[in-house]
Chain A
Amino acid sequence: MTDVLLRIEALSKRFGGVLASDAISLEVPAGELHAIIGPNGAGKTTLIGQLAGEIAPDGGRIEFAKADITRLPAWRRSRLGLARSFQITSLFPDFSALDNVALAVQAHAGHSFRFWRDARSEPGLREPARAALARLAIAERADMLVSRLSHGELATRPRMLLLDEPMAGMGPDESARMVATLRELKGELTILLIEHDMEAVFALADRITVLVYGRIIASGAPEAIRADEKVREAYLGEQEAGNA
């Protein structure tokens, strides 16, 4: 049960003079919801980018499901079950919500060198897409939520979800619904979550890692993080660690 699904070893990335990832090592067991927090510029998005295969690390190793994926292109990682979420601007604006999710289904339904049949009338793509939309009860507000969680990625049945600030810009109601959705997903998926909303992070996460200037300064259960002196100093300082 506590198999390690994602293992990061001494991952390093430098942009000019800035160390965005400074020998980051981290293990995420299967089934865990692991949150990464840190002040702006801590290198959180760079870390997700390296995990998703969009940024090549300078050094270190990434292991997913016991396979070395450090040099794999993004689309191969996706096929292994490592799905990355996107924010609103990253949708395919020319497609409907259903088209978006169907495209994600198609991505994992063999090759797409199929030149003739109308893809929008293929039940094999449409049905799972409809089911994914319905399951998350977003039929009535499909546009908003699909884009946020990019539920398209969920339709591909990933093993692990990389979420980059899914609640950015959301109102309190939507945030609450997103927390509920994530809590529901938590049992079946391993999730790596980057989020600014501390309330949500402390409510959801099994473990929290704090990143400052590309370096891990603390990692552990929410209570331990809340009590950690270094964390208070570096990050939680002015916004009152407790918050709940």
Chain B
Amino acid sequence: MNHLFMPRNAVVVVLLLLLAALPLYASLAGNPFLVTLFTRILILAMAATSLNFILGYGGMVSFGHAVYLGIGGYAVGILAFEGVASGFVQWPLAIIACALFALVVGALSLRTRGVYFIMITLAFAQLIYYFGVGLDRYGADDGLSIRQRSAFAGPIDLSNRTQFYYLCLLLLIATIYVTWHLVNSRFGMVLQGSRSNDRRMRAIGFPTFRYRLTGFVIAGAICGLAGALLANHTGFISPATMHWTRSGDLIVMVVLGGMASSFGPLFGAVVLLTLEEALPLAIRTLATPLFGDVAVRMGEYWQILLGPLFLLVVLFARGGIDGLLAGSRRD
């Protein structure tokens, strides 16, 4: 811990303090939208953290990770629709459903490598996507409104925005903490060794498949919890939640923030989702004096700026934001 004062650690501390103070600032500034935006950021950071666990540390490029957001969300939505509002039932079921699905997908896809693995995980995600589209009872592709947030006992009231925000923050920090332990444990050593050289891992005596599968299931389960949070946050679940472009967004967050780093996915989620809000605004503001009314339409093409930015990170900062802050790829 002699690198305690590295810029990265300072950024992490400042970021966490800012996140902790955000609801206060939002209420002082009279801008409740900020809490809504950052609740979403925290939830997707949690999903990205779970993806980073298998992608960054395990080398498993799952291109269907958003499917767990969808399954977790549908578990909450369907149970609420059928009259089961208790979070004590909804959330564990969301997690279990995702774990089981990950077990099936992993058992089949982890026998392949590289592009084949990417395509199989994508195929499974698309399968569930179209299954969601066909769920007539639960809104089909229009989706399903969730009128009541998950009910918990005592003073916990998720319809209180501030409370819900802090719950998400707490669960995100817990997720980062747990994954940190996982990747540095014996289990994590096997996962990381298998990323570098699976053949050699087997040659020195590790049955790697079962460890990789376990990691895959853990990541799915964590993302399922994020899905339950997301459904509560938006009060709505539809197949669009698990569209493959959403899986792509999660990969972008991980790569942008820094693969195989504890706080990278959080960095990535914060930067990507704030840019998503800020770039259209910036384009509109800057372009209005020049182009007048057309500028409003120009704001819709904010991704024209995001694309090159992402390209620069991939080309020149392999460790992502975390790598830039840490100075080198790994310590």
| Chain A contacts to B: CB under 8 angstroms | 52-54, 73-76, 78-79, 83-84, 86, 90-95, 99, 102-104, 106-108, 112-120, 122, 125, 152-153, 156
Contact = CB atoms under 8 A, between A and B. Distances in A.
A200 B206 CA distance: 32
A131 B200 CA distance: 22
* Chain B interface, DSSP helix/strand/loop, else mixed: helix
- For B184, B203, B211, which residue has the most chain A Cβ atoms within 10 angstroms? B203
B185 A116 contact: yes
Given A90-B200, A95-B193, A112-B189, A107 B206 contact: yes
Interface of B: 181-182, 184-190, 192-193, 195-197, 199-208, 211, 214, 330
A93 B197 CA distance: 9
A155 to B, nearest CB: 9
Contact of A94 (B196, B201, B211): B196
8 contacts: A53-B203, A75-B205, A75-B206, A78-B202, A84-B203, A92-B200, A107-B205, A114-B187
- For A54, A116, A120, A156, which residue has the most chain B Cβ atoms within 10 angstroms? A116
Given A118-B185, A119-B184, A119-B185, A104 B196 contact: no
A79 B201 CA distance: 12
Given A90-B197, A94-B196, A112-B190, A78 B204 contact: yes
Contact of A92 (B186, B188, B193, B208): B193
Contact of B204 (A94, A103, A113): A103
A99 B189 CA distance: 9
A209 B197 CA distance: 31
Given A90-B200, A94-B196, A106 B207 contact: no
A107 B204 contact: yes
A99 B190 CA distance: 11
Given A112-B187, A112-B189, A118-B185, A91 B204 contact: no
A102 B206 CA distance: 13
Nearest to B199: A54
* Pairs A-B, 10 closest by C-beta atoms: A78-B205, A107-B205, A92-B196, A114-B186, A74-B202, A112-B186, A107-B204, A119-B186, A75-B202, A112-B190
A110 to B, nearest CB: 9
A162 to B, nearest CB: 9
A189 to B, nearest CB: 16
Given A78-B203, A78-B205, A116-B182, 12 more contacts: A79-B205, A91-B196, A92-B196, A95-B192, A95-B193, A104-B204, A106-B189, A113-B187, A113-B214, A118-B181, A119-B188, A119-B189
A86 B181 contact: no
A106 B186 contact: yes
A101 to B, nearest CB: 10
B197 A92 contact: yes
A156 B205 contact: yes
A117 B203 contact: no
A91 B181 contact: no
Contacts of A115: 181-182, 185, 187
Contact of B203 (A54, A92, A108, A118): A54
A94 B199 CA distance: 16
Nearest to A113: B187
Contacts of B205: 75, 78-79, 104, 107-108, 156
B207 A73 contact: yes
A94 B331 CA distance: 10
A79 to B, nearest CB: 5
A120 B187 contact: no
Contacts of A113: 187, 211, 214
